[in-house]
Amino acid sequence: MARRVDHSPDELKAMILDSAEELVVAGGVSELSARKVAQKIGYAPGTIYNLYANIDALILTLNGRTLERLHDHLSKTRLDDVREFGAVNRNLEKLLIGYLNFIDGNRSLWRLLFDHMPANEEDLPEWYDQRVSMLLSVIDQALRPLFSGIDSKELRRLSVTLWASLHGIISLADKKKLNVVINQSSYEVCSLLITTFLNGLKGHKNFRGTAK
């Protein structure tokens, strides 16, 4: 058996990726396996390993795409012009709702993105970090109007803090390790965090007064 000319390497790589995604979307993370992907594209299991070093490498590529889609999704959020403090809160709520909608429509891919732990403990590739960074820049934009003369690193520090906090609430709720204790949706808890966090930022040295 050899070059079947059916597909170029790049095509094949894309087919594998698409099939992997279809499996995850259709049946959850546990449905993803090399053998199932191979069967889906009509190749032998070994072929997968000619194009991806291992399953984790395939998942990493898939997660990169999910990250990109999430960014595109959030970027579409129309943020209001900020004339007063409350507008920042409303903008962040819009982003939150966008995020929750994305999760609703892509639950399995989202779980794969954040819960999967690669067996190999190496650092993530640079392109991956860049996509995470793009995501965080969306929050940067929403927070920036609150400050004047703030260092971009300091702004990012705040965005990361808020982002990771919201992520914690949503992912604990998703794992049902939160819902039972408090009879509230993750939206409400996130909303409370946003409001409290923003209010707390009033103590920040670069915080700008209310108007314009």
Residues engaged in binding its own copies (CB under 8 A): 30, 114-115, 117, 119, 123-124, 129, 132-133, 136, 156-158, 160-161, 164-169, 171-173, 175-178, 180-182, 184, 189, 192-193, 195-204
Within 10 A of 49 (CB to CB), how many other CB atoms are there? Answer: 15
Closer to its own copies by Cβ: residue 16 or 135? 135
Binding-site size, DNA (CB under 7 A) = 28
Measured from the CB of residue 25, what is the shortest distance to DNA in angstroms?
16
Smaller CB separation from its own copies, 5 or 181: 181
Residues 35-74 that bind DNA (CB under 7 A): 35-36, 38, 42-50, 54-56
Binding flags for DNA, 106-145, as an x/- string (CB under 7 A): -------------x--------------------------
Is 90 a residue that touches DNA (CB under 7 A)? no
The DSSP annotation for the chain comes to ----SSS-HHHHHHHHHHHHHHHHHHH-GGG--HHHHHHHHTS-HHHHHHHSSSHHHHHHHHHHHHHHHHHHHHHT--PPP-SSHHHHHHHHHHHHHHHHHHHHHSHHHHHHHHH---SS-PPPPHHHHHHHHHHHHHHHHHHGGGBSS--HHHHHHHHHHHHHHHHHHHHHHHTTSSTTTS-S-HHHHHHHHHHHHHHHGGGSTTB--S--
Q: CB of 10: closest distance to DNA in angstroms?
A: 10
- Member of 15, 16, 34, 95 binding DNA (CB under 7 A): 34
Under the rule (CB under 7 A), what is the footprint of DNA?
Answer: 1-7, 9, 12, 32-36, 38, 42-50, 54-56, 119
